[in-house]
Each structure stands twice: as structure tokens, then as C-alpha cells.
Amino acid sequence: MTGASGRQRVQEACFERFLFAHPDPLTLARFQQLVSPLFRQIQVLADKNAILRRTRDLLLPRLVAGAVDVAGMELDTRGEP
């Protein structure tokens, strides 16, 4: 470590001897095959969450102010998402 007290950092020369594992192309391809659907699902869920947040932010003030009438609506009390 070099540098003043509280601002110490690793010397660049340390990284010259640092070894990284590089998987073979078949392993990389298999990994991509496994994780690609997961990352697509993460993006879909993130998009849905953004839509839900925007919907909440638009509706909640109107509900609180009484601008939206929900008196005649039936509630789903099954507790399922």
C-alpha cells in the first residue's frame, strides 16, 4: 500500500502478477445460454415494476383526494398476487 494516511491505495505493479481465470469458449457459451433467460426476466420484471410505480404515483393522490370513486368496486380478498 502506498499513499498518505487514509488515502492508501494498491500499487499498480501488483496487478502485473495478478492472474485471471479465462474459461474456454464452450464454458462461456453454456454460461451465456443459462443466464441469458434470467437477465431477460430481470429486465421484464424491472420494466413491470417501473410501470407499477408510475401507476401508483398517478393513482394514489387521486384516491386520497377522492377524485377516483372506488365505492362500487369489488375487492379480490383471495390474497393472491
**pLDDT tens digits for range 32-68:** 999 999 999 999 999 999 999 999 999 999 999 989 8
Q: pLDDT band for position 20 (50/70/90)?
A: confident
Residue keyed to cell 488515502:
7
Nearest-angstrom CA–CA distance, 68 and 61:
9
- At residue 71, φ and ψ (nearest 5 deg) are -60, -35
- At residue 79, φ and ψ (nearest 5 deg) are 80, 15
